[in-house]
Structure 1
């Protein structure tokens, strides 16, 4: 199963140093039965993109609580064996938890498929969106507009062998 792990560049540096993402449990995103049900008309590629987008949103939340890290979202894609990614059945249909899974094991580098990172020129807008998250969560429509604007920045694709270059 392909999973998407939200990170920051500092988190990516730490997992590179450790040789794995962990320890478990880790929050990640994947194509779950609830996500399939929510996006009835989506094909597999669209569903994967939806799970990936949820991970990018979660990476923005990580930036909001870590004000000293570089303002670039990071999503690590990994292929995990069956049973490693588990959806919480109590939250399966919660719109806030769509696609969310818990990883029951640390992710070794051998499971990594790719890394996705904001371009450097997106940092300013991503920083503004991270700063606006609290107000958006409180119902501020202008802040929500700013936060939603972060999704306009596509994350760049990097091979796992390029992690050192990224850092």
Structure 2
């Protein structure tokens, strides 16, 4: 099953160094049956994009913690392919939310890496400041977070991980 994990650049560095990464709090996002049921139309790829967007928004929450020093205003989403038995849907937390058991992923499970481009940093910085208000339903904050989510995230092949860490 393809799972989208919110991450930070520091987490990517750890993945490169150790060959493994832990999903923060043990959760990720995926194309679940609950997510399929939510949408009236669309193919799996279109619906899976909603799970990806949930991971991108969760990356903003990770950046809001403030422990990312290298790129504090760039979202990161790591796409991984996991065995179905490692992934448990948790629709009570959200239609795309999945619990990983175990929460550890290895570099050989990487399917793709997505990172905000430099031009997106200003919008992501604004979203970081208002993510809590957005979660509480404050409309202006939701619009700011939505603007950040609309920004392009660059795609990198898993084989590019070492070069990303060295060259960025």
Residues 138, 99 of structure 1: alpha-carbon distance in 2 compared, 3 angstrom cutoff: closer
Q: Are the equivalent residues in 2 in contact too, given 1:25–1:103 (CA < 8 A)?
A: no
Aligned to 2:31: 31
Aligned to 2:157: 159
Residues 64, 120 of structure 1: alpha-carbon distance in 2 compared, 3 angstrom cutoff: same
TM-score (norm 2): 0.88
Residues 146, 51 of structure 1: alpha-carbon distance in 2 compared, 3 angstrom cutoff: same
Moved more, 136-145 or 103-112: 136-145
Q: Deviation digits for residues 98-155 of structure 1, max 9, x if unmatched? A: 2110111211111111101100121111011111112323443222211111111021
Q: Are the equivalent residues in 2 in contact too, given 1:8–1:74 (CA < 8 A)?
A: yes
CA RMSD of aligned residues (A): 1.8
CA distance in 2, matches of 1:16, 1:146: 32
Q: Deviation digits for residues 46-102 of structure 1, max 9, x if unmatched? A: 1221111111111111111125432111111111112111112xxx1x5x6121101
Give ranges in structure 1 of 5+ residues lacking alignment.
Answer: none
Q: Are the equivalent residues in 1 in contact too, given 2:9–2:68 (CA < 8 A)?
A: no
Aligned to 1:84: 86
Residues 68, 154 of structure 1: alpha-carbon distance in 2 compared, 3 angstrom cutoff: same
Give ranges in structure 2 of 5+ residues lacking alignment.
Answer: none
